[in-house]
Structure 1
């Protein structure tokens, strides 16, 4: 007991964290959620099982963090933060990060397991959605709405447009998921991925553009 209390006060070892998360993802891809238990993760990472328990309260929490660490996407805070004129525009940053994700075979395998486990163990996908998907979705929605308000003289929110943005986000994400997981002929090279994403976003932009409403007459 004394040893345990003393160990908890020590700084976390980044190398141990990386080894644990790497082992967790490898086992998750190979064996699914059931096979990625703390005992097997600790064994593959070369650490004591108690080391894993001290860092994460559940394997859902561990895998959620490990999946996010494995993503090639840049954090949404970096993408949507205000930047000066010399910096790369946020849209280009987001496109670059998406293209890298498309070409990442490892992430495709992780995503397939994540979706597959949602039927028998929905807690993992629910945790990942709450901690990472929803914050990104809100950030994208806010950025699109902010850009649209800049083009409206009154700057007022429009509930109908808000609903349209949500629908278009679903369409873009759905197209990307299909491309990554279902289409066997989809080329994985960055140039082809960029062309596809640009076309999807172009079509989404067309859907969001509404004709000007005629002015009301007295």
Structure 2
């Protein structure tokens, strides 16, 4: 009796659904690691929160000039604390509007995984059509404009920032800065600026190779 013919096994069949590697996970992990490290270094420079909310140091300013001077001095001293407050207000606003939060996260994820951290040798194929990098960038830019200016996401972000700035300015105007050690504010400023610079450089360093290839 003749043996049945052996069916050839293709390489694509053995690989199953793993024909394409993950989307730039090492670059994305490096970006998250650098950003997290920069944020931790910046938060380490914050002033004690009890010093920020000391009720005995609150007093009504004598004039608008006095209020502006207090805001300037308090912002120089509590810079990291104030930015943390702004971030908390923004986070609470987004958490209170889950739909806007999901839309914003989806937009950020699209930028990260469809353009910034997507290898240039892995084109986007949708409904049998291959999209070039320029077409992908155009779709992302248009989507960002629509989300920010034509939906409630943009107004929510602006409202949250305005509320946060109002809280910061009110505290800065009523917080008497005479008891603050303003002579050592330069190291704090340097630390905070290094936090911002580190976060920005992390994003640039992680995304620059992918963007440079596409330009």
TM-score by length of 1: 0.27
Greater RCO between the two (CA within 8 Å, min separation 6)?
A: 2
| TM-score (norm: length of structure 2) | 0.27
